[in-house]
Amino acid sequence: MVEWSEKQTTGPMQRSANAAYRRDIENRSSPFSPNDQAWIAVAGLLEQAALVPGRGYPLIQEAVNLAKSALGDQHIGIIEREFGGAAFAEQEWVLLLSDEAYQRGALNIAYAILDALSASTASGDDVACGRILVRMARIHNSLGFLDAANDQLFDAQRRGRAVGSVELEVRALIGLGSVAQSRGNYPVMLRHARRAADLADRNGLRFLGRFAHTGLMIAAAQRGDFSSAMTQAAVVYAEAAGHPTEEAELLQNVGQMLLAAGHADEAAPMFTAVLTRQLPEHFVLAALGGLALASAKRADQPIVLWASGEVERMERAGAQRYQAAVAMLECAVAMLAIGLSERGERARLAALQLGEQHGYHEVTLRAEHAARAMLAAGKPWGLEQSALEVARSIRAREPERLPEHVQVAAPVS
């Protein structure tokens, strides 16, 4: 079982599977996915296994089989990519089920699954424990418990070094870079991302290398080096190609980079391409916010209004609070920029209130500042021809297949 320090108790409370799920679902009008009951059942089985040390294997095996059944055989490929061919390992199926809950925005039940897995397996395997710690840290980071996330990541890094696991050290470094990004400390983020990318590339860890190079891409964009950022984007796309969720994450990041560089015409197709996919709601919300800003920059009022309406609809349906608050704020800034003062201000105040209610106040204020800065940018940053070619190459692989009520954005030219 993973041992916790005092600081780590400041994160999600350790609660039963049912209580964790109730916390996640309380503001929603519908389930997160068809697998909601499987999340609860797997966490519950693992909790029971933890109560009978040394005799819980049948319960653990039942939980693994349930995770396999819920996820389906198509996830064997994901396990092989991420864990180096360990398709018949047990823990990995439960980790992926927790990932699904996390990606759907059910952070408390995702954490409960991981906590129960840690308590029930108690194998002393540092790599297995480290993989759980890194995922727990990701949830802490998402909820704003940054000190707890750092503690877990340093623990994972220590375990990796103790047993010579490059994989675990890379995972920890990627996580530490993400926490540094949350703090706005981009020099530290860059340092961790460089180390992670170097280790991953030298040891053939392509799946993890994608996340490290994404960190390098974001750090380059933050310092205004958009051409270097696009070079990193090409590396990331080579590994993400053919995997819709991974492609969507890259398209979103490239769209944000192009928008920050003042290239709204090139950014808009990236966001609309994300909206062609069936994706978890946090991807959709992020793309809608980006599309609203890009469309405001292009004075395209119908698209701004459509994107804002979709965000409002998803928020009312109980979408993930953090991403809903940020997307609402981006849409508010977009509406204010095109002269829709009353509606824009109403959306801005609603987003800030949502941020305050859920502890994201500082984040939403920073998001508002960033959104305004994107729209206030004057002359676009000059991008090298090679950087534009990367954008064209990525966009050219995307189908022009949008919801009927969305106009296809102009392609990169």
Q: What is the pLDDT of residue 389?
A: 60
- Render the burial of 3-15: b for 16+ CB within 10 Å, e for the rest: ebeeebeebbeeb
Q: What is the pLDDT of residue 386?
A: 54
All structural domains of the chain with their residue ranges: 16-24+34-123
Q: What is the CA radius of gyration of the chain?
A: 21
Joined tokens for residue 66: 């349930």
Question: Quick one: CA torsion of 207, 319, 265, 371, rounded to 10 degrees?
Answer: -100
Q: What is the pLDDT of residue 281?
A: 82
Q: What is the pLDDT of residue 382?
A: 54
Q: What is the pLDDT of residue 103?
A: 87
For residues 358 and 24, give the distance between their C-alpha atoms in angstroms, rounded to a whole number.
12
pLDDT tens per residue, range 356-388: 776 666 667 766 776 777 676 555 555 555 555
Q: What is the pLDDT of residue 89?
A: 62
Report which of 255, 250, 247 is spatially closest to residue 271, judged by C-alpha positions: 255
For residues 98 and 408, give the distance between their C-alpha atoms in angstroms, rounded to a whole number.
35
60 burial (CB, 10 Å; 0-12 / 13-18 / 19+) is buried
Please identify every stretch of the chain with a pLDDT value under 70, giving residue numbers as ranges: 1-14, 84-89, 122-124, 358-363, 366-367, 370, 374, 376-413
pLDDT tens per residue, range 287-323: 999 999 999 999 999 999 999 999 998 888 777 777 8
pLDDT tens per residue, range 79-128: 777 776 544 467 889 999 999 999 888 999 999 999 999 998 755 688 98
For residues 393 and 248, give the distance between their C-alpha atoms in angstroms, rounded to a whole number.
15
Q: What is the pLDDT of residue 28?
A: 79
Q: What is the pLDDT of residue 409?
A: 36
Q: Which residue has the tokens 């964009």?
A: 221
